[in-house]
Amino acid sequence: MARFGAHAFIWESDWTPQAAERVIRNAAEAGLDFVEIPLLRPEAFDPEHTASRLQHYGISATCSLGLPAEAALPERPAAAEAFLKRALTVAAKLGSPVLTGVIYGTLGQLPGHPPREDELATVAAALKRVARHAATLGLSLGVEPVNRYETYLVNLTRQGLELLERIDEPNVFLHLDTYHMNIEEQGFKAPIVQAGQDLRYIHLSESDRGTPGSGNVRWDEVFAGLAEIGYQGDLVMESFVALNPDIARATCIWRPVAPDPQALVSTGLAFLRSHAERYGLLR
């Protein structure tokens, strides 16, 4: 059965002890199985406190990130590897089974040329070493293709699958996001079917990053694709009500895209859940 989660930035833009408490309590009250916690600064993260709150409210966590400029791929493979290993340590302490997102690059870093063979080889070599380290901790790594305005490295499902092949480690999977798919793919169902069993994580995000069901994403195609591949992975509502400057810059959100967290949960999450149920993903 697929699990349901939501991104922490639906509720809070930072991860102080107070924010952690509020996010985890709200996610548990919304009936979610887990909350996705961004590890933007793993060195400043207090995993013991967050782990205790997760245990208290009885829900799980997943962890995601994009590489910071000082640990960018393909420019700084050694720094990227060290950064990802620090993030894996935190993710393991939170009991997260995955570290996912734009683990292969830095959002907004656009050098003005298509990805070169040597750049992709550097990214894959670094991620292969990180994947092997992740395996020793029992964790998997997710690769999330994002749109052309945020990265030049991996925009399409096809490119994500190619990177998986280059990395060639069993604990690396594809993570799709309907917001990015709406910009880059031709339709929603075919890419999901193409990803097949490599797809283990999906961000269910509306075309304007707002409330799912209120924009241009063709949700019936999305869920028909997931049903066709017998999807058993994680379903994650991603929207950004609470924005910090790093996320605003990375995602180019300059206005509120949803009224408030409560509306997202009562309208957006309910919409996604009813689709998931209708397409048999929650049995």
Which residue of the set 36, 119, 184, 238 is catalytic? 238
Q: What is the 3-state secondary structure (H, E, C) of 208-259?
A: CCCCCCCCCCCHHHHHHHHHHCCCCCEEEECCCCCCCHHHHHHHCCCCCCCC
Q: Which stretch binds Mn ion (CB under 5 A): 26-34, 161-169, 177-185, 247-255?
A: 177-185
Q: Is 7 in the site for Mn ion (CB under 5 A)?
A: no
In degrees, to the nearest 5, what angle opens at C-alpha 246 toward C-alphas 132 and 198? Answer: 35
- Compute the least distance from the CB of residue 39 to Mn ion, in Å: 14
Of 38 and 77, CB closest to Mn ion: 38
Distance CA 248, CA 194 (A): 31
Of 177 and 206, CB closest to Mn ion: 177
Of 177 and 185, CB closest to Mn ion: 177
Q: Which stretch binds Mn ion (CB under 5 A): 50-58, 109-117, 170-178, 206-214?
A: 170-178
Q: Is 189 in the site for Mn ion (CB under 5 A)?
A: no
Q: Cβ distance 109 to 143 under 8 Å? A: no
- Compute the least distance from the CB of residue 144 to Mn ion, in Å: 6
Which residue of the set 81, 144, 150, 184 is catalytic? 144
- Compute the least distance from the CB of residue 55 to Mn ion, in Å: 27
Of 76 and 175, CB closest to Mn ion: 175
- Compute the least distance from the CB of residue 96 to Mn ion, in Å: 16
- Which long-range contacts (C-beta less than 8 Å, at least 24 apart) are formed by 111-120? 111/152, 113/152, 114/152, 115/152, 115/153, 115/154, 115/159, 118/74, 119/74, 119/153, 120/74, 120/153, 120/162, 120/163, 120/166
Query: Which candidate, 6, 4, 2, 33, places its Cα nearest to that of 227?
Result: 2
- Compute the least distance from the CB of residue 7 to Mn ion, in Å: 8
Active site residue 228: no
Q: Which stretch binds Mn ion (CB under 5 A): 70-78, 85-93, 184-192, 199-207?
A: 199-207
Active site residue 184: no
Question: In a 3-state reduction of DSSP, which class is residue 170?
Answer: coil
- Quick one: the chain helix, strand, coil %, rounded to 5? 45, 15, 40
Of 177 and 184, CB closest to Mn ion: 177
Instruction: Specify burial of residue 71 (Cβ count, 10 A radius: 0-12, 13-18, 19+).
Output: buried
- From 177, 198, 206, 234, residue interacting with Mn ion (rule: CB under 5 A): 177
Residue 6 has phi, psi (to 5 degrees) of -145, 155
- Compute the least distance from the CB of residue 64 to Mn ion, in Å: 8
Q: Is 203 in the site for Mn ion (CB under 5 A)?
A: yes
Of 204 and 281, CB closest to Mn ion: 204
Distance CA 166, CA 119 (A): 12
Q: Binders of Mn ion among 231-260, rule CB under 5 A?
A: 238
Residues that bind Mn ion (CB under 5 A): 177, 203, 238
Residues annotated catalytic, as ranges: 144, 238
